[in-house]
Amino acid sequence: MEGLKRAILKRGKIYPNNLLKVDSFINHQIDPELMQEIGKEFAHYFEKYQPTKVVTIESSGIAPALMAALSLQVPLVFAKKTLPSTLMKDDVYSADVFSFTKNVVSKVVISQSLLDKEERILIIDDFLANGEAVLGLKKIIEQAGASVCGVGILIEKSFQSGRGKLEEAGLDVYSLARVQSIENGEVTFLA
Amino acid sequence: MEGLKRAILKRGKIYPNNLLKVDSFINHQIDPELMQEIGKEFAHYFEKYQPTKVVTIESSGIAPALMAALSLQVPLVFAKKTLPSTLMKDDVYSADVFSFTKNVVSKVVISQSLLDKEERILIIDDFLANGEAVLGLKKIIEQAGASVCGVGILIEKSFQSGRGKLEEAGLDVYSLARVQSIENGEVTFLA
């Protein structure tokens, strides 16, 4: 998606260790109009699967997932990183997600009351690197007897293993910006 | 706002200790169309102050705040509960927020790069009970030399001290649903 790529080049910042920082328009400050465009683009691509729900993980996935859900006219569920005080351990589906950035395993949970059998779930997330978050959500969704009909990503680090793993798991992955490399302070996209 | 009140009566659940649970349409599963209506309502009420930015706290504030920001055509910033790996302690404004529900003090932070002097900030949050979260955000915003032009709340627990404290601090508080009491499994709204 050209609008997102332009925003990355113009507003993204490269930090030491070739870390791409997008916190002025995606994951700390959010550009609502860009998110609306992103939501429409995901809806346009994934409507062929007639998703019944959008699922993401808090917090940075919520904005693009909400806009996709609005365009698709379906509810959004966001997985939580801590067990809400109103839920017991037995009330949730959960999965462990390993974060390479932070080098920790964390649990993500979704209330069992919010996922039904036979649902077709569209997963949305801001970054795809090693695919761990999406695979964790997939595990949760399958615990409910539902299935994943697609995965929408804002920024894919195509030089990491995530896309390969998700495709191996049979998932249709649509990334709006596929980053081929981040080197010497410059981002290059796959054609 | 009638749409939100109807949703609370129809889809909210009352738990022991008169805890109102709205996780099927506000803070775990989200109803995108209701959030869009809510965003428009906040924009309609607060546009008189010409806010330059909307600020909320992750995670449940993000959806309504995003929709308000979209309607107002301004950016949204969400305060984080943990220091992002790309930010140092000196790069952020921070405040301690006491949670009565969890009986803990937690820190919330916003990158200094995302708040400017002279900005007029609209704060949005899902619940107002004791007002601690909003007062924490106000502190952060004032550290930046900016000011709070209004506070938009989805559900106000009018039987708690939050509104009083915020009004004392000179804030214009607009709550879409003002809950007078939760008793014997029933929610009553202020007229």
B103 shares contact with chain A (CB less than 8 Å): no
B31 touches chain A (CB under 8 A): yes
Expressed in angstroms, the distance from the first to the final Cα of chain B is: 11
Phi, psi of A135 (to 5 degrees): -65, -35
Distance from CA of B86 to the nearest CA of A (A): 8
For residue B191, the tally of other CB atoms under 10 A from its CB is 5
- Closest residue by Cα to residue B117 from B77, B138, B78, B144: B144
Our CA-based measurement puts residue A7 at a distance from the nearest CA of chain B, in whole angstroms, of 14
Per-residue pLDDT 10s for chain A (191 aa) are 999 999 999 999 998 888 899 999 999 999 999 999 999 999 999 999 999 999 999 999 999 999 999 999 999 999 999 888 778 888 999 999 998 878 889 999 999 999 999 999 999 999 999 999 999 999 999 999 999 999 999 999 999 999 999 999 999 999 999 999 999 889 999 97
- B30 and A70: CB-CB below 8 Å? no
Q: Is the pLDDT of residue B191 over 80?
A: no
* pLDDT above 90 for B84: no
- Of B127, B179, B129, the residue nearest B153 (C-alpha): B127
Provide the terminal-to-terminal Cα distance of chain A, rounded to the nearest Å: 11
* Pick from B15, B30, B78: CB nearest A86: B15
| pTM confidence score | 0.97
Amino acid at B154: L
Give me the residue from A15, A28, A69 closest to B111, CB to CB.
A28
Which residues of B fall within a CB distance of 8 Å from A85? 101-102
A82 Cβ contact list (under 8 Å, min separation 6)? none
Taking the C-alpha atoms of residue A30 and residue A132, their distance in angstroms, rounded to an integer, is: 24
Closest CA to B31 of B54, B56, B8: B8
Q: What pLDDT is recorded for position A88?
A: 84
Average model confidence (pLDDT) across chain A: 95
- Using a CB-CB cut-off of 8 Å, the residues of chain A touching B119 are none
Q: Is the dihedral of CA B91, B93, B96, B101 positive or negative?
A: negative
Whether the CB of A57 is below 8 Å from some CB of chain B: the reply is no
CB A67 within 8 A of CB A35: yes
Q: What does the angle CA A120 – CA A71 – CA B71 come to, to the nearest 5 degrees? A: 145
Inter-chain CB proximity B30 and A78 less than 8 Å: yes
What pLDDT is recorded for position B102? 80
Main-chain dihedrals φ then ψ at residue B167, nearest 5 degrees: -65, -40
